[in-house]
Amino acid sequence: MNGLTITEKIFSDRCGEATRSGEIVRVKVDMTIGNDITTPLSIRAFESADATRLANPEGFALCMDHFIPAQSINAANQARISRDFALKHNLPNFFDEKEMGIEHALLPEKGLIVPGDIIIGADSHTCTHGALGAFATGMGSTDLAYTMATGKNWFKVPASIKIELRGKPAKCVYGKDIILETIARLGVSGATYKALEFVGDSLERLGMDDRFSLCNMAIEAGAKSGIIAYDKITEAFLGGKKLARKPKIFASDADAFYEQTITIDADQMEPIVAFPFLPDNKRTISEAVKERVKIDQAFIGSCTNGRISDLRIAANILKGRKVARHSRLIVTPATQKIALQAQKEGLYEIFAEAGAAVSNPTCGACLGGYMGILGDNERCISASNRNFVGRMGAKTSEVYLANTAVVAASAIAGEIADPREF
């Protein structure tokens, strides 16, 4: 019989015996994550079931990140449900304006995500946390309520697809480009209910920010999770953090079974743009620039690309240049810590002088609900994760997905541009 994948090993550890893909198990959840949009429904379900206490208060994090500070009366009322719950239960991990950040950037930053964890969240991009060698997946709000009350949940252990990354990533190629290439190869439903396991020597050249981008968009191929085994880069990221739990380090066996293997030569790649209206609608940057796509808005931020390395990449391109007269650029750091670091490094000054608008940490323009909504027929090039119809505003608007360098270059040019020329 074949060996086990890292995903199977995480579940095997919880079950106390070898557990393979396809098996249905009920196991303890280490971290349950809610946000200001999805948690009110979880709270209602929790209370309607006559639950009175959280099974694992330390393992429940509530992040107010989508519409914070509140952008409407409805958003304020939604937020109040979560605030009242957090105060009532004295939640140790409640984050609002006082400690702002997008959940999938803030929790790893605070050491609340630990290798070997099982993590769920009522947000599809919970799979981001798999970059730390954990199993992380999104669930519905009522599924979240079940874990809030019991500390456990049901899982069908996913089979794995191996994504083998080879070579040093080419110039201006980042984790965002690699995951867009992966999605283009698989299609938006090609990995449905699978675990995407990223391996290969390219990972040695990809820092944690790039790894978070890789796992973040696993869901855009339909995957249940994305995961990367613990290594020296993971160790360096976690070093100095007060971790919520003791890490459990797992790695796939050499003879583990994979349903499919995809090999990507990162050294042969160029930046990629996903055209509307699906993340698998791939163009290389060389192809994209030929279409002379005029840009009304450029957005740098979100749980995909709002980290400090993204802001540094953008500032490097924007320094001494101006955003095109007919375009606008919004920069949204993912957490307060990232925002403070960017200010310390002088990046905010570069953004301001270039003509960019910098916001507080929030999901912001990504979901078309706040600070950067697109009007009719407007086009946005975005470092975020989705480009569905109406994703960022009007149904007639268009979203083009790209890495931060492409977004910054396009903001300057006023049309989709190749950052290698800047």
C-beta neighbour count of 145 within 10 angstroms: 24
Reading the block at residue 220, the tokens are 């855009």
Q: Any idea which of 126-140, 177-191, 362-376 has the lowest mean pLDDT? A: 362-376
pLDDT in tens, 283-293: 999 999 999 99
User: Do 10 and 139 sit in the same domain of this protein?
Assistant: yes
Evaluate whether residue 30 is within a structural domain: yes
Looking at residue 68, its pLDDT comes to 87
* pLDDT tens-digit readout, 77-98: 999 999 999 999 999 999 998 8
Higher pLDDT, 363 or 318: 318
Percent of the chain exceeding pLDDT 90 equals 93
Amino acid at 207: G
Model confidence pLDDT, tens digit, residues 379-407: 999 999 999 999 999 999 999 999 999 99
* Residue 369 pLDDT > 90: no
pLDDT digits (tens, 9 = 90+) for 145-156: 999 999 999 999
> 236 and 307, same structural domain?
no
The last residue of one of the domains, among 213, 234, 263, is: 263
324 and 213 within one domain? no
Count of structural domains within the chain: 2
* pLDDT at 373 (0 to 100): 93
pLDDT of amino acid 366: 87
Segment 166-185 shows an average pLDDT of 97
pLDDT category of residue 46 using cuts at 50, 70 and 90: very high
Q: How far is CA 370 from CA 120, 141, 365, 374, 404, in A?
A: 25, 22, 5, 10, 20
**264 Cβ contact list (under 8 Å, min separation 6):** 163, 164, 165, 166, 178, 181, 182, 185, 202
Q: Looking at residue 240, what is its pLDDT? A: 87
326 lies in the same domain as 415: yes
Q: Check pLDDT > 90 for residue 370.
A: no
Based on the domain organization, do 180 and 302 belong to the same domain? Answer: no
- Domain span holding position 300: 273-421
Pairwise CA distance, residues 104 & 113, whole Å: 10
Q: Is residue 145 assigned to a domain? A: yes
> What average pLDDT does the segment 314-322 reach?
97
Residue 1 pLDDT greater than 90, yes or no: no
Is residue 1 domain-resident? no
The torsion angles phi and psi of 329, rounded to 5 degrees, stand at -130, 130
Find where tokens 């995903």 sit.
Answer: 7
Quote the mean pLDDT of the chain: 95
3-state secondary structure of 101: strand
In a domain, 58, yes or no: yes
Question: H helices then E strands: how many in the chain?
Answer: 14, 18
Confirm whether 369 is domain-assigned: yes
| Predicted confidence (pLDDT) per residue in 275-311, tens digit | 999 999 999 999 999 999 999 999 999 999 999 999 9
Asked if residues 370 and 71 have their Cβ atoms less than 8 Å apart, the reply is yes
In this structure, what are the phi and psi dihedrals at residue 45, rounded to the nearest 5 degrees? Answer: -65, -40
55: domain CATH number is: 3.30.499.10
Strands 328-331 and 297-300 come out as parallel
Confidence tier at 48 by pLDDT (50, 70, 90): very high
In a domain, 291, yes or no: yes
